[in-house]
Amino acid sequence: MTGTAGLIRLVLRRDRIIMPLWVLVLGILPYVYVTGFETLFATASERIHYAQISAANAGFIGLYGPLHGDSLGELTVWRGGFLPVMIGLAALLMVIRHTRADEEAGRTELIRAGVVGRFAPLAAAVLATVLACTVMGVIVAVTLIGQGQPAEGSIALAVSYAVSGWFFAGVGAVTAQIADGGRQARVLAVLVLGVSYVLRMGGDISALGGGRLDWMSWLSPIGWVHRVFPFGADDWWPVALVVVTTLATVGASAYLLTRRDLGGGLLAGRLGPATAAASLRSPITLAWRLHRGLLFSWTAGFAALGLVFGGVSTSVAQLAEDSDSMSKIFTQLGGTDSVMDAYFASIAQTCAVIVACYAVQAALRIRDEEQTGHAEAVLSTVVSRWAWAAGHLIFALLGPAVALLAEGVVAGVVHGDPGPVVASALAQLPAVWVLAGVAMLLIGLVPKLAAAAWAVVAAAFLILIVGPLVQASQWVLDLSPFTHVPHLPGGDFTVVPLLTLTLIAAVLGGAGLIALRRRDLPV
């Protein structure tokens, strides 16, 4: 453990941009939900009616979790039911980035050459992640208490969020020892996260209908943190269960660390063929080989989102019919007079911001290939820098289109009218491309700050969910490219803003490619 404190400072310095972003954004979301519900419901009867309908809807339960009360705090807990998944994702990615990914990049070897204990890098990554999750929890508690919510419920919610991050930090630590590399470690950890969410969702939906599969929720750590019931029963024993399991995963990762060599995983990688197949002898086909797993995962995830969003559309219509304020807020968010059109317009915007994460992630693969030295092998051949980078950039542009198409088709089919829903989803693409262009520009001009592309996505996300609720000034809303996309279905379709956004994306991406060609690469 020698050197752990110094390595924690190193982790915090390297993550000085990304970590504060996800800690702050995820930490203030419950505050935003409380503000939104206060704005949404003018009377207690409207809030109770909303809670009664939401608690009986399988789609809502599947997406957010069970709803056990009608108070403002309980509605906030239910609406933030997806946050443990997002916190877990951030935590496991942070641990893998500072453990297995560092081994691939050769940084761990350099660190271990100094006066540093064998377990110090792993301990530093886990402790820094635990610290980040704890700070996020403090933000949740302080903001909710400051908003007048009960202190015990606010602290219970904050602790449930924090320990969910702790648990998946432990999962990331284990997969970092098992996998053959950082990419495989991420896939395994995200798979655990996805299975946990599916088990929670299946168990809660089964419990709603009195089925026999409600026990599935108890197989999921996400289901455990939902059983804390903040602002209601405030049961603390599920927190203890998560903490004990977290300690077990961290202990297992430390043991597995002793069973492998530096740079190697317990799952041995296979040697590839001596010569590449004909299908891999171009930059685009090589990029397809590298991006196809990510593309399939995002497409499947968005198809699942389409299934949920299409399934709850009937309940949304019922809510709007019974509540004028609900109808008003949906219309405000969607920008049209029809509640169903406004609902699908707001869903399209939400999915667009989410898929922008995929676009940025795919674009940043260029920087990742550069840092890991893989680009050196490719560029030592006849492949030009433009062709190499463009191969990855194509997937940053077309991948979101495939994912949005899957979401729109599934949601539209479930709703019963796929045409307008698909059109509203695909209309968001130019705004997504602008964010991918920003990422490409940062990679080309200031590669050390390429991760700042996530800040742009976070800003767009905040403007989308907070802006209409707090009635932000129009110039603030205009900072997001998603503000300028026509509100479809139901709104007026104009091609000018779409062409303008596409042109901006092309200029940003082109400038990034030119800058990449002119700057030094580690070859």
Residue 129 DSSP SS3? helix
Long-range (24+ apart) CB contacts under 8 A made by 479-486 are 480/431, 481/430, 481/431, 481/434, 481/435, 482/349, 482/352, 482/353, 482/428, 482/431, 484/431, 485/349, 485/352, 485/427, 485/428, 485/430, 485/431, 486/427
Indicate whether this model's pTM tops 0.75.
Answer: yes
Q: Tell me the two tokens of residue 475.
A: 């110039």
Spatial contact of 58 and 203, defined as CB atoms under 8 Å apart: no
Number of residues that this document lists for the chain:
523
Q: Tell me the two tokens of residue 487.
A: 């509100």
CA dist 151 and 140 (Å) reads 11
b vs e for 269-303, b when ≥16 Cβ sit within 10 Å of the residue's Cβ?
eeeeeeeeeeeeeebeebbbebbeebbebbbebbb
Look at residue 48 in the predicted model and tell me its pLDDT: 84
User: In Å, how far are 188, 194, 196, 197, 212 from 191, measured between CA atoms?
Assistant: 5, 5, 8, 10, 25
Cis ω before 489 (30° cut-off from 0): yes
CA dist 468 and 435 (Å) reads 21
* One-letter amino acid for residue 74 of the chain: E
Look at residue 394 in the predicted model and tell me its pLDDT: 92
* E strands present in 343-402: none
Spatial contact of 150 and 73, defined as CB atoms under 8 Å apart: yes
Residue 519 DSSP SS3? coil
**Number of other CB atoms surrounding residue 214 within 10 Å:** 17
Look at residue 457 in the predicted model and tell me its pLDDT: 85
Task: Phi first, then psi: give them for residue 71, nearest 5 degrees.
Answer: -75, 165
**Number of other CB atoms surrounding residue 521 within 10 Å:** 13
Look at residue 154 in the predicted model and tell me its pLDDT: 93
Look at residue 91 in the predicted model and tell me its pLDDT: 93
CA dist 406 and 306 (Å) reads 7
Look at residue 319 in the predicted model and tell me its pLDDT: 63
Spatial contact of 384 and 413, defined as CB atoms under 8 Å apart: no
Query: Which of 499, 465, 496 lies closest to 480, judged by CA?
Result: 465
Ranges of residues in the chain with a pLDDT under 50 are 523
